[in-house]
Amino acid sequence: MSDQRLVLAYSGGLDTSVAIRWLAEQKGYEVIACAVDVGQAEKGEMDRVRQRAMDCGAADAVVVDARTEFAEDFVSSAIAANALYMGKYPLVSALSRPLITRHLVRAARETGAQVIAHGCTGKGNDQVRFELTAMAIAPDLKVEAPIREWGLSRDAAIAWAGERSIPIPVKKDSPYSIDENLWGRTAECGILEDPWASPPEEVYARSVPAEQAPDTPEELTLTFEQGRPVAIDGDKHDLAELIAEVDRRAGAHGVGRIDMIEDRLVGIKSREVYECPGAMTILRAHRDLEDLCLEQELAQEKRGLEGRYAQLIYNGLWFTPLKRALDAFIAESQQVVDGEVRVRLYKGSASVAGRRSPVGLYDHDLATYDEADQFDQTQAEGFVKLWGLPTKVWARRQGQR
């Protein structure tokens, strides 16, 4: 056990690169950098990230390929819950932070470290997610937040690194703060801080502008088993692969761009630009299939809970009793969400063109207006009378006032 050994969540970017050195120099820590691949990295990139951590002065650096774990343990729950914060944001960063923290804790346990650290500022949600996850799964560990504590501007950080010849990531200088994973991409800062200004095209990386999308629509059939997408056009994929493939196909049609004003937990309204072609396509299809398969009382209750569930995730409450209880409810609801959805991708939209299910509750003979009609309309008269009885009583006594 060592209280001078620390595991830092390392992204390879400027902030966490200087944080390695700062933690060592100012606080005397032996820093172990932990870089988690949640689908943001191109092939070979994580090796470079690991080397960069060592070059910045880490005592050791570990790289974790967590793409499958991210898809299975985190994104799949978000799909089942149709989770969209403020009805819009599919929780890209919010989903990854509990997972990254889980790996920091694992690395701490393996190396005997008693401290973990993140590179978040004090103005965002990510600090909350890291620290609440740590409190929930490893309340004995101490958390350091070097960037929040240090409060350096970007230019000052570059100068500080220059004085010490710390190899600053040689990425092309971008005014944007980007976070990325399998479920989507987030962009903040620069001109985006003017909520009236249109996001420049250079902000986007996973989609074409709708006006440049192909003139012919493309159809994609998604198969779901118990609420989980398992195949595209009949071909089975594991979840991480399936998401990446839908992302690619939907992005080529300009699907999934989101420009919104967001309520951060720390009280700030911020302008956020997201790019989530795969997420928005899968969520649209999943929700539609639920409309076919879920009995209406259950469906209504679930819709009411979905916003709350998204809010819990957004607010860093992944590992909490309420989240767990809601998971049990959602898992029960998903037992019958089996079937296929045809999604039409065209000029920036993913719309449902058809759906079917072996356990769907659509009954043609009840719905039809043709001869096959099995619905006994004579019973409707009495039903309407009783349904309207309270309204009628009220109208007679009080409604005229």
x/- letters, 294..333, toward ligand ARG (CB under 6 A): ----------------------------------------
Cα–Cα distance between 167 and 281 in angstroms, integer? Answer: 40
Q: Is 244 helix (H, G, I), strand (E, B) or coil?
A: helix
**Selected binder of ligand ARG within 82, 96, 125, 207 (CB under 6 A):** 125
> Does 131 help bind ligand ARG (rule: CB under 6 A)?
no
Which residues, in sequence order, are bridge partners of residue 65?
Answer: 37
> Does 272 help bind ligand ARG (rule: CB under 6 A)?
yes
Q: Are 333 and 205 in contact (CB under 8 A)?
A: no
**Selected binder of ligand ARG within 15, 144, 262, 275 (CB under 6 A):** 262
What is the identity of the amino acid at 177?
S
Cα–Cα distance between 311 and 318 in angstroms, integer? Answer: 10
Q: C-beta of 273: minimal distance to ligand ARG in Å?
A: 10
Q: Are 320 and 328 in contact (CB under 8 A)?
A: no
- Is position 177 annotated as part of the catalytic site? yes
> Does 186 help bind ligand ARG (rule: CB under 6 A)?
yes
| Total number of residues that touch ligand ARG (CB under 6 A) | 10
Cα–Cα distance between 264 and 177 in angstroms, integer? Answer: 16
Q: C-beta of 100: minimal distance to ligand ARG in Å?
A: 11
Cα–Cα distance between 258 and 371 in angstroms, integer? Answer: 46
Q: C-beta of 76: minimal distance to ligand ARG in Å?
A: 19
Q: Which residues contact 29 (CB under 8 A, 6 or more apart)?
A: 4, 5, 6, 23, 115, 144
DSSP 8-class letter at 208: -
- Is position 55 annotated as part of the catalytic site? no
- Active-site position among 11, 15, 102, 288: 15
- Active-site position among 97, 249, 271, 355: 97
x/- letters, 51..70, toward ligand ARG (CB under 6 A): --------------------
Q: What's the CA angle centered on 256, arms 205 and 269, to 5 degrees? A: 90
Of 95 and 341, the one with the shorter C-beta distance to ligand ARG is 95
> Does 93 help bind ligand ARG (rule: CB under 6 A)?
yes
> Does 177 help bind ligand ARG (rule: CB under 6 A)?
yes
What is the identity of the amino acid at 225?
E
- Active-site position among 76, 148, 177, 357: 177
- Is position 76 annotated as part of the catalytic site? no
**Selected binder of ligand ARG within 9, 94, 232, 282 (CB under 6 A):** 94
Q: C-beta of 125: minimal distance to ligand ARG in Å?
A: 4
- Is position 126 annotated as part of the catalytic site? yes
Cα–Cα distance between 398 and 33 in angstroms, integer? Answer: 71
Residue ranges binding ligand ARG (CB under 6 A): 93-94, 125-126, 177, 179, 186, 188, 262, 272
